[in-house]
Amino acid sequence: MAGAGAIGSLYAGHLAQVAEVTVLTRREEHAAALRGGLRVSGRAELTATVRATTDADELGDAELAILACKGTDLEPLAARLAGKLSGATVMTVQNGLGAEEIVARHGEWPLLSAVTFMSGTRHGDAHVEYVLDTATWIGPNRGTTEADAQRVAELIESSGLKAQAFPDLRPAQWSKLIFNATVNGVAALTGLPHDFHFAQFAQLSDLGHLVHDLVDEGRAVATAARIELHDDPWEMNVLATQRGHRHFPSMLEDVEAHRPTEVETINGALVREARRHAVGVPLHTAVYRLVKAKEASYSE
């Protein structure tokens, strides 16, 4: 497990129940805390025994490597792994597009694509709360087949998390891309968690109109890219707002904490795909530029 934020910790804690898990961290005190046991609370209650290290050379002969860092940290992480993990299949779970290509540039590993809908909250270096028990979707990429994706999905399922394999992940990946570009962007700009406002239409100025129009632009890009979406992003939005749980998208948390956001790999990726396929996306372009500018307001 490379990266032990909320998502990485959820995978590590669960998978340690059925496999031998080593966690690669950036900070030594983080690794030391994990060696004392990784606690998962919330939807699952368990304490996992994991190995943890800051030295990529100590990862040994892992069969599966899950890169669960934030999109903005993927390039340096993949560079750290270059020349290592020679027997492993590498799986990316980042939001947006392009994670597989970044990793592919740093090694010859067989690759799996994945997106995850589960969410958690870190309560310290060795404690994560399991909040949303939604699935991880996995599909083949370079040098892998659906059977490989299926094997990893089964492993994850056996550990108590939800997972599903797909013959081609792109339809699901694009559904999530459009959903994230829309919901995360609007949340980051307004300060609203993903709640009922995102599906509200009563007034002309209600956000439901904008969210719906953003989803429509995203669908048009997918159509031009010959992607048949697995889930309708608008329905994903409505369902999420009806869950009764006010989810704080990572991009909102990032701007509130004045951290770099995943705007490039999510909104930027969608806008670039639109340009490549000559589809006009004025609203996504506006959201992309505004989030970039908001980042600049605190990062320069």
Partner 1 sequence: MRICVVGCGAVGSLFAANLARLEDVEVWAFDLNSEHVDAINRDGLRLSGAGDVVGHPRATADAAELPPCDFGIVATKAMHTEPAIAATAHAFKDGCVATVQNGLGNEETLARHVERVIRGTTFPAGKIVAPGHVQWDVKGDTTLGPYDERTPLAEVERLADACTRAGMPAHAVADARGPQWRKVIFNASTNPIGALTGLTHGRVCERSDLRALVSGLVDEGKAVAAAQGIVLDADPEELIDHAAKPEVAYGHKASMLQDVEARRTTEIDYLNGGIVRFGREHGVPTPLNEAIWALVKGVEAAWTQS
Please check whether residue 149 is in contact with residue 69, taking contact to mean a CB–CB distance below 8 angstroms.
no
Distance in Å, CB of 134 to partner 1, minimum = 23
Instruction: For tokens 């992607």, name the residue.
Output: 227
Alpha carbon distance 98, 96 (integer Å): 7
Is residue 272 a contact residue for partner 1 (CB under 8 A)?
Answer: no
Nearer to partner 1, 83 or 282 (CB): 282
Shortest Å distance, C-beta 257 to partner 1:
14
DSSP state of 161: S
Give 132 or 286: the residue with its C-beta nearer to partner 1: 286
What DSSP state is assigned to residue 130? E
Is residue 254 part of the contact set for partner 1 (CB under 8 A)? no
CA 188/CA 269 separation, integer angstroms: 17
The verdict on 216 binding partner 1 (CB under 8 A) reads no
Which residue, 105 or 209, is less far from partner 1 as judged by CB? 209
Query: Is 257 a residue that touches partner 1 (CB under 8 A)?
Result: no
Contact between 284 and 222 (Cβ < 8 Å):
no
Q: What is the DSSP letter of 162?
A: -
Q: Is 201 in the site for partner 1 (CB under 8 A)?
A: no
Give the CB-side neighbour count of residue 77, counting CA atoms within 13 A.
Answer: 26
At its nearest, how many Å lie between partner 1 and the CB of residue 249? 13
Crossing angle between the packed helical segments 170-190 and 207-224, to the nearest 10 degrees:
150
| Site for partner 1 contains 57 (CB under 8 A) | no
Our finding on whether 244 is near partner 1 (CB under 8 A) is: no
Note the residues at the interface with partner 1 (CB under 8 A).
186, 189-193, 195, 197, 203-207, 209-210, 213, 246, 282-283, 285-287, 289-290, 292-294, 296-298
